[in-house]
């Protein structure tokens, strides 16, 4: 049966889901979505924290783990290993039939507390890669200043990377350049470029949330509300097309390299005054991914409109950034604040996850 997700793929965009839990796996929800055209899974500490807190799906494994392992992080990694491996296996057929490394990927994030530590991030990425032991695992590394050299090192080691928490055009380009440097090093060391891939997770709706807040604080400029995030993403896509073209890229591509694709993240609508699927409908274009919450995925399948929109009004997108500057909104500060808040949010979720494991331990000890 042809679904809206299949139609999206016909326009060159892959639909992934930004959710994972043991219930989601065991009840067959993921498998059913794959049948409907879903092509990948992303996860983060917030998602895992919520998954472990819900229901009793993890209780038996927690009992076993907590009897021998006192460190909550190691307990979490053992839980994540099972869920991520199961998701990788559920998407393996998608991965195997896609020779261009586009789809079938599942993402697991490095500890966000390491976001400012390059060497520790590299070590953790390699550990997660070994731990999951699946060819369709993306290790998520934040595109922070310290994360950029870690991305290069990880790609050079032959490990696929999902670069996360990208908000600015400069940082997005830097992530692409880090990927290219890693590819060159992998090629020069005799590695197989076909074994690696990368996506650059460019966060969308949070940009409007922060920009609109600042517009409210300054007063006026109502016409600018809800416009920065989509303009920002459209310009990121143009930058991606530039980076992965030309003679130098053609040489890497001939050796088996695949381009780093734009992945639109944070695409659920935060402002109830905006259309609920606007950050999907307005960013449809070839060689891209949109990872959606289950709610946004359902909404899009119900009433999403599909058309090639990503390269519409690119000149308007460029002038949009100028208009924000004229209104006194500092784009660089907006994106810097969002990056730091994103790292802090995921770090806080990691801590809450450890607290949830401790709470579960105490509860299970009483039952």
| Residues that are catalytic | 140
Assign 209 to helix, strand or coil.
helix
CA–CA separation, 52 and 214 (whole Å): 36
Under a CB-based contact definition with an 8 Å cutoff, are residues 243 and 249 in contact? yes
Q: How many CB atoms lie within 10 A of CB 251?
A: 12
List Cα–Cα distances, 41 to 11, 64, 87, 95, 167, in angstroms.
Answer: 20, 27, 8, 12, 21
Strands 13-17 and 198-203: unpaired
CA torsion 284→141→271→316, rounded to 10°? -50
Nearest to 77 by CA among 346, 115, 69, 155: 69
Q: Which residue from 108, 110, 105, 62 is spatially nearest to 83, judged by alpha carbons? A: 108
Residue reference for tokens 């959606």 = 292
Residue pair 204/233 in contact (Cβ under 8 Å)? The answer is yes
Phi, psi of 288 (to 5 degrees): -135, 170
In angstroms, the CA 90 to CA 94 distance is 9
Give the number of residues written for the chain: 367
Neighbours of 298 (CB within 10 A): 12
Q: How far, in Å, CA of 312 to CA of 183, rounded?
A: 31
Cα separation, 215 vs 217, whole angstroms? 5
Alpha helices in 219-289 (DSSP H): 228-243, 246-254, 278-281
Integer Cα distance of 22 and 36 in angstroms? 20
């Amino acid at each position: 049966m042809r679904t809206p997700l299949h139609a999206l793929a016909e326009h060159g965009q892959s639909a992934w889901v930004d959710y994972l839990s043991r219930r989601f796996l065991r009840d067959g929800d993921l498998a059913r979505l794959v049948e409907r055209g879903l092509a990948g899974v992303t996860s983060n500490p917030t998602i895992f924290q919520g998954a472990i807190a819900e229901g009793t799906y993890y209780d038996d494994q927690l009992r076993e783990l907590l009897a021998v392992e006192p460190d909550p992080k190691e307990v979490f990694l053992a839980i994540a290993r099972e869920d991520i491996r199961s998701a990788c296996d559920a998407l393996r057929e998608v991965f195997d039939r896609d020779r261009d490394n586009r789809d079938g990927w599942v993402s697991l994030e490095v500890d966000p507390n390491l976001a400012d530590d390059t060497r520790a991030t590299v070590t953790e990425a390699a550990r997660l890669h070994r731990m999951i032991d699946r060819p369709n695992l993306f290790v998520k590394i934040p595109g922070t200043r310290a994360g950029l050299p870690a991305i290069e090192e990880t790609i050079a080691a032959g490990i696929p990377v999902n670069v996360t928490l990208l908000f600015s055009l400069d940082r997005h380009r830097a992530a692409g350049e880090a990927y290219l440097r890693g590819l060159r090093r992998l090629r020069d060391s005799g590695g197989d470029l076909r074994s690696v891939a990368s996506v650059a997770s460019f966060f969308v709706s949070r940009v409007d949330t922060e920009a609109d807040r600042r517009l409210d604080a300054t007063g006026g400029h109502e016409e600018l509300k809800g416009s920065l995030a989509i303009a920002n993403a459209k310009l990121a896509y143009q930058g991606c097309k530039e980076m992965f073209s030309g003679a130098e890229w053609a040489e890497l591509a001939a050796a088996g390299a695949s381009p780093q694709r734009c992945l639109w993240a944070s695409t659920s609508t935060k402002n109830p005054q905006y259309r609920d699927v606007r950050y999907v409908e307005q960013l449809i274009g070839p060689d891209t991914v949109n990872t959606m919450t289950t709610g946004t995925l359902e909404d899009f399948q119900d009433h999403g409109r599909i058309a090639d929109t990503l390269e519409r009004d690119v000149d308007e997108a460029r002038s949009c950034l100028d208009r924000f500057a004229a209104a006194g909104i500092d784009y660089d500060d907006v994106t810097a604040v969002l990056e730091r808040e994103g790292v802090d949010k995921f770090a806080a979720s990691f801590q809450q996850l450890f607290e949830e494991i401790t709470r579960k331990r105490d509860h299970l000890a009483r039952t």
